[in-house]
Amino acid sequence: MSARGRVLVVDDERSMQEFLEIFLRSEGYEAVTVGDVASARVQLEIDDFDLVITDIQMPGGSGLELLRAVQSGAAGAGESEAVVIVMTAFASTETAIAAMKEGAYDYITKPFKVDAIRMIVEKAIEKKSLSSENRRLRSELRSRIRERHLIGTSRAMQRVVDLIAQVAATKANVLISGESGTGKEIAARAIHDGSDRRESPFVAVNCGAIPENLLESELFGHVKGAFTGAVQSKPGLFETAQSGTVFLDEIGELSLPLQVKLLRVIQERTFRRVGGIGDIRFDARLVAATNRRLEDEVAAGRFREDLYYRLNVIEVELPPLRERREDVPLLVAHFVEKYGSELGREVQRVSDAALEKLVTYDYPGNVRELENVVERAVALSRGGEIGVEVLPPTVVRNRSGAGRERLPAEGVSLEDVLADFERGLLLDALDQCGGVKKRAAQRLGISFRSFRYRLEKLGLEEPSAGEEGDGVE
C-alpha cells in the first residue's frame, strides 16, 4: 500500500526525531528525519515532501529560516512546495504569530498530545493534496484556454485567463462581456472545459440568430400538437445540455417575455416544454455573453434587472484587440500555422512591414477579423512570406484610427497601460540586441543604470547589487 504522504521532520533532539518517525510511520506516512536546517534543505533539494515538521529553535539555523526557504521555493520545493508545521518548546504567542505570518500551516508546542498531532498532520496533508490538485487542474485549464485561441501574454489577457481558471471550478453563473469577435464563446468553452461538467454537453445558443417565435421552443422544447407543425414532441436545448453547460450568446437580444421564463428557470431550476404541463428539472450551468452594456439595457427598460443580477454573478470582460496590441504577433503566428496547414501553404515568415501594419491596425472585428485577415494573406502569399501586398486595403491604409490608443468607456489604468508599453519596448530591445543589456540600453537612448532599474521595477529582473558585470559583451 502506498504511503499517505511524505513527511520531513527537522529537530536537533534525536529523541524527538525517533518519536515522530515511529508515530508517522504507524499512521501510514513515509518519514525522513534530520537534525538541522542545512540537512533539511539538502533533503528538499533532492526529494519531494508533502509536509515539513520543523522545530523553531535549533543550532545552525531556525525553523523560521527553513519556513521562509520553503515558501520562496529556495529550498527546492518549487511549485509542489510542502506544507510546513512548526514546533517549539516555548508557548510563545509572538513566535506563533511570526510563524503563521511567514506562511506556516499550523503551530504546535512541546510537549504535545498524539491525538493533536494526528489531526494536524491529517489536515495538513489534505491541504497539500487539494493544493496540488488545484494547481494541476488550473495548469490543464490554461493549456486548454491556449488551445482554444485565447492567446496572449499581455497583462489584460493574463487577467482574463487567471479569472477563467478561478471561476471554472465554481458553480456560479458567469456573464462574459466584450465586443464582437473578442472570443466570448471560446471563453465560455474554456469555462466548461475547466469545470466538473466537462464530460457533459456544451450547448451554445445565439439568442439573436433565432426568430423570437421559435426561440422558446428551441430552448425548452415542445410537446406534440403545441403549435402548427409540432407533429411530434421534441426536447429543447436545455434538456440536451443536462449536467453540462448552456451558453446563451447575445443574451441582450432576448425578449422580455423570454427573460421572465429564463428567470424562472434560474430561480426554480425547472422548466416546461411549450404546451407541456409537467416540470422538467434543469441541471446545467448557465454562461451568458453580450456585446452590449447590459447596465444600459436595464436602465432603458429593455432587460430585467433581476435577471441581470442572476446572470452576472461573476463577470469576465474580454478586452478588444486594440487594447492588447502586444498579443497581435502571437496571434498572427498562431493563425499562420493554422491556415498554412489547412490550406497547404508553406509560409515561413511575415515581413516586418506587414507585421507593423497588422500590429497598428485597430481591428473593429477584433480577433475574428485578424483571423480572417491572416487566412486571406496565407491563401494569397507567394514565396513563403506574407508581405504588405497580400493584406486587405483597410489594413494597409490603416483608416480605422490605428496607431492611437482609444480610451474605452469604462476607463483604464494609465499606469498599467504605460507599464505594459514600457515592458514591451524593453523586451524588444533585449531581443534585438541578443540579450546584451548595455546594447539594449543604448538602443533605447537611456543609461545602463536606468535600463537595469526599469527591468527591476517591472519584475523582469531580480534586484542586484552589481551593475557593470551584467550584460557586458
Per-residue model confidence as pLDDT tens digits over 229-277: 877 888 999 999 999 999 999 999 999 999 999 999 999 999 999 888 8
Contact 182, 319 (CB under 8 A): yes
Contact 191, 168 (CB under 8 A): yes
CATH architecture of the domain with range 6-135 = 3-Layer(aba) Sandwich (3.40)
User: Identical fold at 321-397 and 414-457?
Assistant: no
* pLDDT above 80 (res 342): yes
Phi, psi of 176 (to 5 degrees): -105, 120
Contact 379, 371 (CB under 8 A): no
Virtual torsion, Cα 153, 325, 292, 165, nearest 10 deg: 0
Domain coordinates in residue numbering, the chain: 6-135, 148-317, 321-397, 414-457
Domain 321-397 has CATH 1.10.8.60: yes
Which grid cell sits at 93?
504567542
Contact 8, 40 (CB under 8 A): yes
Instruction: Look at residue 471 and give its three-state secondary structure.
Output: coil
Question: Which CATH homologous superfamily contains domain 148-317?
Answer: P-loop containing nucleotide triphosphate hydrolases (3.40.50.300)
N residues, the chain: 473
* pLDDT above 80 (res 200): yes
Task: Please give the order of strands across the beta sheet that includes 314-317.
Answer: 202-206, 245-249, 285-290, 174-177, 314-317
How far is residue 49 CA from its own chain's centroid? 27
Q: What is each CA distance from 114 to 82, 177, 186, in whole angstroms? A: 22, 54, 52
How far is residue 403 CA from its own chain's centroid? 29
pTM comes to 0.58
| Residue scoring higher pLDDT (73 or 339) | 339
Select the CATH number that applies to the domain covering 414-457 from these four: 1.10.10, 1.10.3470, 3.40.50, 3.30.70: 1.10.10
What does the pLDDT average to over 431-459? 82
Closest CA to 321 of 243, 406, 201: 406
